[in-house]
């Protein structure tokens, strides 16, 4: 699949690091570094604008290393970029650590996963089909 992209940053286009990678790293596009204090959140711009085909979304997800090592994650993970959005891709980052985190221009801040999706139509009914699980949720099938 080919996706149209405008890159207003000075960084390379997002790309897959390995043959089996599902996501591509997004990089911060900044004029000045950002200091993200504990429990602070910010939208970090990427300089990227995309045109997805209808039936696809781009999911913005945390980078596992950044989350595990620094406590930095994507606040609304996964964030969804719809096929009709034409604005700049921004990443909502939050610092869940006890230390300030410096975001520099070019920093790998998130992953982008392209995913196909379906559109649903609702059907109003009075009764739903029964299952063994029934109404059990929130840990009802185990810890």
List, in order of start, the domains of the chain with CATH numbers. Answer: 4-116 (2.70.40.10)
Q: What is the average per-residue pLDDT within 110-133? A: 95
Q: How many whole angstroms separate alpha carbon 82 and alpha carbon 56?
A: 7
Residues forming the annotated binding site?
63-65, 76, 80-82
With bands split at pLDDT 50, 70 and 90, how would you rate the model's confidence at 143? Answer: low
pLDDT at 67: 96
- pTM for the complete prediction? 0.89
Mean pLDDT across 87-103: 98
Binding-site positions for substrate read: 63-65, 76, 80-82
pLDDT in tens, 9-51: 999 999 999 999 999 999 999 999 999 999 999 999 999 999 9
- What does the alpha-carbon distance between residue 84 and residue 99 come to, in Å, rounded to a whole number? 38
Residue 89 has pLDDT above 90, yes or no: yes
What's the CA gap between 42 and 38, in Å, rounded? 12
């Amino acid at each position: 699949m080919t996706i149209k992209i405008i890159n207003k940053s000075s960084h390379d286009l997002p790309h897959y690091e390995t043959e089996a990678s599902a996501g591509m790293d997004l990089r911060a596009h900044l004029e000045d570094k950002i200091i993200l204090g504990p429990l602070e959140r910010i939208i970090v711009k990427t300089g990227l604008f995309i045109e997805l085909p209808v039936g696809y979304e781009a999911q913005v997800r945390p980078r596992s290393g950044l989350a595990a090592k620094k406590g930095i994650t994507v606040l609304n993970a996964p964030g969804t970029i719809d096929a009709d959005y034409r604005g700049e891709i921004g990443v909502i980052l939050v610092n869940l650590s006890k230390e300030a985190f410096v975001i520099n221009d070019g920093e790998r801040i998130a992953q982008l996963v392209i995913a196909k999706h379906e559109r649903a139509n609702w059907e109003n009914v009075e009764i739903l089909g029964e299952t063994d699980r029934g109404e059990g949720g929130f840990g009802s099938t185990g810890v």
